[in-house]
């Protein structure tokens, strides 16, 4: 079998759930859903300003691209720009730190999915772990 999934099912499921959570929060901000108010942008808004919502549209595009690149890694397909997983590790570390130091307790929980995704890009994309 030409994919990592067969040996790392639990880890891959955790990564997928983390992507789903991130997309859920990003869509919540974009559409100004109340559940996202304490979970994004420092938890300081009861109504997200347009500029924040536009920024989160770009973040959503980035997360969808990350998910697609991770799919390529899982299926061991070539990645055109081989430096992308490294960039996603750097972006992930920044995301983990921003969430960890948020003034919102609800937003600090976002560290967990951010750390899972960051670790997965490091382990499967940068470290180039080759399962048997």
Look at 128 and 46; give whichever has higher pLDDT.
Answer: 46
> Positive or negative CA dihedral for 3, 123, 9, 81?
negative
Q: What is the pLDDT of residue 60?
A: 98
Q: Which residues contact 122 (CB under 8 A, 6 or more apart)?
A: 85, 89
Residue 6 has pLDDT above 70, yes or no: no
Average pLDDT over the chain, rounded to an integer: 91
Q: What is the arithmetic mean of pLDDT over 106-120?
A: 96
The percentage of residues in the chain with a pLDDT greater than 70, rounded to a whole number, is 92
Cα 47 to Cα 35, 58, 60, 87: the distances in Å are 11, 19, 19, 32
DSSP 32: T
Residue 129 has pLDDT above 90, yes or no: no
What are the DSSP E strand ranges found in the chain? none
The pLDDT tens digits for 35-61 are 999 999 999 999 999 999 999 999 999
The answer to pTM > 0.85 is: yes
The percentage of residues in the chain with a pLDDT greater than 90, rounded to a whole number, is 80
């Amino acid at each position: 079998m030409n994919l990592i999934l067969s040996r790392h099912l639990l880890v891959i499921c955790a990564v997928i759930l983390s992507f789903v959570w991130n997309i859920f929060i990003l869509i919540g901000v974009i559409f100004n859903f109340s559940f996202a108010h304490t979970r994004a942008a420092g938890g300081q808004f009861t109504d997200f300003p347009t500029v924040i919502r536009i920024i989160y549209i770009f973040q959503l595009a980035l997360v969808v691209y990350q998910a697609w690149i991770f799919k390529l890694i899982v299926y061991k397909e070539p990645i055109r720009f081989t430096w992308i997983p490294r960039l996603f590790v750097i972006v992930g570390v920044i995301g983990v730190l921003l969430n960890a130091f948020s003034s919102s307790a609800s937003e600090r929980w976002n560290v967990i999915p951010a750390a899972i995704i960051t670790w997965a890009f490091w382990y499967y994309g940068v470290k180039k772990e080759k399962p048997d």
